[in-house]
């Protein structure tokens, strides 16, 4: 694997892909969601995804479904998921 380490983050793209099975029902298999209520994640900045997931989990951001979904995620899960989604091409559906 390439050294895709930026700052203090060291998410594992392949581990994130496996964990993303939980998320694909809403955010799509390529990180492109199937409707306008669920945001696309493909190509989103890794640091942004990490922050949003921690904010949902730790109660700093509210939402319809994500606060509950994020409860089960560890910091490592979040970093792996962020690495995976940020690696996807937002133009490939």
Phi-psi region of 50 (alpha: psi -120 to 50; beta: other; left: phi over 0): alpha
* C-beta of 4 vs 47, nearer to ligand HEC: 47
Q: In angstroms, how far is the first alpha carbon of the chain from the final one?
A: 24
Biggest CA-to-CA distance, the chain = 36
Give the nearer residue to ligand HEC in terms of CB position, either 3 or 86. 86
As a whole number of Å, the CA-based R_g of the chain is 12
Q: Closest-CB residue for ligand HEC?
A: 63
Minimum CB separation of residue 74 from ligand HEC in Å reads 11
Nearest residue (CB) to ligand HEC, 3 versus 64: 64
Binding residues for ligand HEC, per CB under 6 A?
A: 22-23, 25-27, 37-39, 41, 49, 52-53, 63-66, 69, 81
């Amino acid at each position: 694997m390439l050294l895709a380490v930026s700052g203090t983050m060291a998410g594992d793209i392949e581990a994130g892909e496996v964990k993303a099975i939980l998320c694909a029902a809403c955010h799509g298999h390529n990180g492109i969601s199937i409707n306008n209520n669920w945001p696309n994640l493909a190509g989103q900045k890794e640091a942004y995804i990490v922050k949003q997931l921690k904010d949902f989990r730790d109660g700093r951001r509210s939402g319809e479904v994500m606060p509950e979904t994020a409860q089960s995620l560890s910091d490592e899960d979040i970093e792996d998921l962020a690495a995976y989604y940020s690696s996807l091409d937002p133009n490939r559906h």
